[in-house]
Structure 1
């Protein structure tokens, strides 16, 4: 708009009106100055959209939460915003697989395709659009009932403008933002590419304001209006996640949402201090839950007194406690390095010294993936058992298990301790107290209905996992059972008798890899390692000759994924192998390596979610192999060591 001053200069007598949609007070002043409108009358309508409900949800299980939101969308349309074109295409495809009528929209599509998509949306032929911010300008569709920001927007102005496409007919509509601190890091990566210092600083400021909005636990409406210079007087807007949660807490029926968080707060703050205030949320959570992740052991945090002191608290719940302690000023996030680290504030240290009490809010459990509906009969049986136990213990029913825990049990049919621990809200303590009684009900019901872990009511992802578990259990019945002392005695006997690995595995009902691992971990044969198969040995030879992934796959007649699986087995057996020529290009390798470091374990899914669809699982698996070589001190060639030396310095 600064270029428009030429119109005022050339046509000084022509009346001028300047109209804006999302201008802040500072921008409005700049517009007046640039256009020379020194005596202009100003008319400012309210930025408040009373029919919109604003919600911010943690970006955990976000796809399941999105599916649930869309299934609740009975009438009207939805717009889902994503940051990149690739992620836009991927999310649209995933939703199509779930049976939704959805199309992608981004600037990379042909003009004709974009026009047709927009027209189909306006005609209600397609009710759901997954789009980048290229979509929506000039679209005045009255019945948009849901706007979802699946990724963090760059500015509050953009966020407000995009949410403003909901409910233009005045009917109640929802605006949901899935917030993750990892999205901030992704945005910062692109901001750092801006060469102009002033422009980069401006972008950083805008992003910081957006992050503050996502992390705040104050009224969303008040935050938005305040940003645009408008005051909101009411204490409770009644239409945002914060105020709705506050209203629920006033209701006696929802008193269970608040609890005495003194002890867990003390544990979290102590863990942050004990780990030196140099690590992020995920690492602190891993230490508290007693994880044996490589990074935990690397810094000897498994020897700290705080290691495992909150092992019965779910990971998501601990992350939420940390968020609340940050909001209350007891914890702070430092961002001086590449990734944010936690530190205890003066207020937090005073809390520990004075042994003050603290109330926290128990977050309502997320709804189960709507694609997998619970077995209603089993759900009723589980609730009856829960009530029986609660009555005997004279405690509220939710103390035993929440409804969400029971709902997930009725979806996924866990039949042993290992699978029951995967259910939200089930930790080791509750497993010991109640697990066997609930498992007995689930097993009995499954037998009556002829349902196993591949229950068709589960989601496609869980059905696939369930089938895999079932196949493993069929061939190795004790694959997921805890090791018993008698088994170790038998393992020693069989090993000393010279029985082969497959023979021992068959005799004990376990997988060969588990047998080899047990031989080492139990000290029975600390130097025992698996041997490579003939096909894995052939892959090793080709890799040592410097062939690329594509060349090895072509020469072997295998998929790239299978070749990587061979490489994983090769590294597992401690074979010496220089992976340098197989790694992604330097810039991509560095970003993947940083993403792994930001996580506290080497699981692929969290890293993939952090990096997005621009990075393939094959790349992630190769970089993870490099990390495993580092962590196990595998002997490397000098060329490999040169590549890694910089990483060790950064570490």
Structure 2
């Protein structure tokens, strides 16, 4: 989490800690020993969040950063571009969220008053205004950043809030746990404008992924290593998605070689068996994944879950009439499928392949259900 001042950093870090989040601060006001300690804690996953000024991050190569949150608008587009580049270096989807307002421009201008060189002062002032204007534009976030540096690209189409047509309030609903603390600590006490950039889809068992992460962290602490040295988040999610049951299956996972198989394979496959039992049900298919069998009670819980999820695409005059009509029967018709939903769908399909029942559970029309079965290669 990036903040514009040391005071904001300390206040924000303290707020997160009071709300049960493992966080540390990082800024030039700390001693070198304190900064080194906090940086090491972050690299080793001993804390989940580092709240920092721009003093943090230069040369840091932590692969599994899932969120970059700017609690205050960056001073320049160059800084913004550099800072968001620290997310998702392992290739997995990561989110970049920025809160901004014109008050940020005014605050930064205040700190230019002691600068003697008028040309340099005006250059910084213009860059800050450019950053604000870019955030305000109603066009693809990715394209605008690239354009600032003199290059061109097509709209990303799916990976930013503008291309997806999602408003800040909807993003907050879908990322509530990630942004709740930021909203509550806004200087004005009111929600600020927000932008978000995110990636595509993943398919893995979230519960198992959490168990594997805990195991990785324990082993990393015992060996005095950063957790990603054992396995990256990307590899852990592949393990949680394919659930290998023997050495051959474990070796097929990207990021696992013979040395890591011999060193960690038995322990991680043991954790899979511990979570799902010694003889988990196998999904017949190309990848021969292991999928836990859902009971009827779990299916009903899924049905309640998807019946209560609001559409990202709210019914408006801009939505074609045929979509609104379809949503009278299936509330999530024509919504994009998410990675967690795919995971739920795969597990539900193991319990029932009845199209009508799957339509009821996931609030999708029969065509969407059949298309998903084909897409996920479940037949």
TM-score band, normalised by the shorter chain? 0.3 to 0.5
TM score, norm. by length of structure 1: 0.26
The TM-score, its normalising length taken from structure 2, stands at 0.44
Asked which structure has the greater RCO (Cα within 8 Å, sep 6+), the reply is 2
